[in-house]
Chains A and B, each alone.
Chain A
Amino acid sequence: MKIRVYESPEIEETEVQIHCKKKDELVFEIEKTLTYFNKVISGKIEGRNYTLIPSQIYYFDSIDNKVFAYTKDKVFEVNMKLYQLEDIFIDTPLIRINKSMILNVKKIKSFRTSINGRMEALLRNNEKVIISRKYVPILKSKLGGKNV
């Protein structure tokens, strides 16, 4: 596979084109990875709007019918429902991990379990989130496991 990058000050928006003989699994994976960077949403802090890209987001949490996006050290209010975000970020590392949370799998540092079977994920910013057992098979498949 050849990768070429052309730089030009005249280009306003970055464009990626894939030239292939057939849209096989590799092409599909490349497309999926690029989608992760391409999807953006807007978040609000103190009335000011900001653009958020998936690679910045650690997780989305729904509290009292409001959805918040958590980045490394900031919290943005997002004017969308969790199921809408799930639809937008389909085929990206952002997946539902419990009833009120969507987590970016790329931000997980490690997993651990407690005596009552509760599963926790330790994130790169040292926050802990609880993973519902119902979503473990999806998580496993996202990480390349054979489950699901």
Chain B
Amino acid sequence: MKKYFNTFVKTFFFTSIPMLLLSMYIIRVLEINMGYIRVTIGALIISIFISFAIRVFKSEKRKGYVNAILGYIIIIPTLFVLRNIFGNYLFTRVWAIYIIILIIGIIYGIALFIASKKYKTEVDELNRLLLDKENSDDLEEE
């Protein structure tokens, strides 16, 4: 629970910034007043989902790819929360949300690809070090 709360606090901080910018954009460009409480509650709900997705993604239970898929599924409802807060000001077309889900999926996939490549390099190095150590131990034994 403590770990989840730590993730939640960080997520809430980073979620509040784009929420604030989006609200400012709507106020300035569309001249519509956004309710502060509504936006804050929205940011809180979104942070709950995102931090939960992060915890699931990092979880040591289940297989890695299952956690990755679950993490993505958990993130999706945040977009519906976003649509509920900003309504038609941001989502002018009904299908826009599905396009955003797709875009987020692509970004998520790219991020996963980059991360797994980075970790693979690390694991390859560890395997190489392990092999070197085994070889040197064998030589010492001889």
Q: Which of A7-50 contact B (CB under 8 A)?
A: none
Q: Are A113 and B127 in contact (CB under 8 A)?
A: no
Please tell me which one of the listed residues A112, A115, A118, A145 contacts residue B125 in the complex, with CB atoms under 8 A apart: A145
* Range class of the B interface residue count: 20 to 34
Q: Are A143 and B60 in contact (CB under 8 A)?
A: no
Please tell me which one of the listed residues B58, B67, B68, B129 contacts residue A144 in the complex, with CB atoms under 8 A apart: B129
Q: Are B122 and A113 in contact (CB under 8 A)?
A: yes
Q: How far apart are the CA atoms of A114 and B127 in the complex, in Å?
A: 15
Tell me, rounded to whole Å, the shortest Cβ–Cβ distance linking B109 to chain A: 10
Q: Are B116 and A111 in contact (CB under 8 A)?
A: no
Q: Which residues does chain A contribute within 8 Å of B115, judged by CB atoms? A: 117
Q: Which residues does chain B contribute within 8 Å of A112, judged by CB atoms? A: 123
Q: Are A113 and B130 in contact (CB under 8 A)?
A: no
Q: Which of B84-142 contact A (CB under 8 A)?
A: 112, 115-116, 119-120, 122-123, 125-127, 129-130, 132-133
Verify if B18 is at the interface (C-beta below 8 Å from A): no
Q: How far apart are the CA atoms of A110 and B123 in the complex, in Å?
A: 9
Tell me, rounded to whole Å, the shortest Cβ–Cβ distance linking A3 to chain B: 11
Q: Which residues does chain A contribute within 8 Å of B120, judged by CB atoms? A: 113
Tell me, rounded to whole Å, the shortest Cβ–Cβ distance linking B49 to chain A: 18
Please tell me which one of the listed residues B60, B64, B123, B130 contacts residue A115 in the complex, with CB atoms under 8 A apart: B64
Tell me, rounded to whole Å, the shortest Cβ–Cβ distance linking B136 to chain A: 8
Q: Are B130 and A111 in contact (CB under 8 A)?
A: yes
A residues in contact (CB < 8 Å) with B: 108, 110-119, 130, 136, 139-140, 143-145
7 contacts between A and B (CB under 8 A): A113-B120, A115-B112, A117-B58, A117-B119, A140-B125, A140-B129, A144-B129
9 tightest A-B CB contacts, nearest first: A114-B64, A143-B129, A113-B119, A116-B64, A115-B64, A111-B126, A113-B123, A115-B65, A111-B123
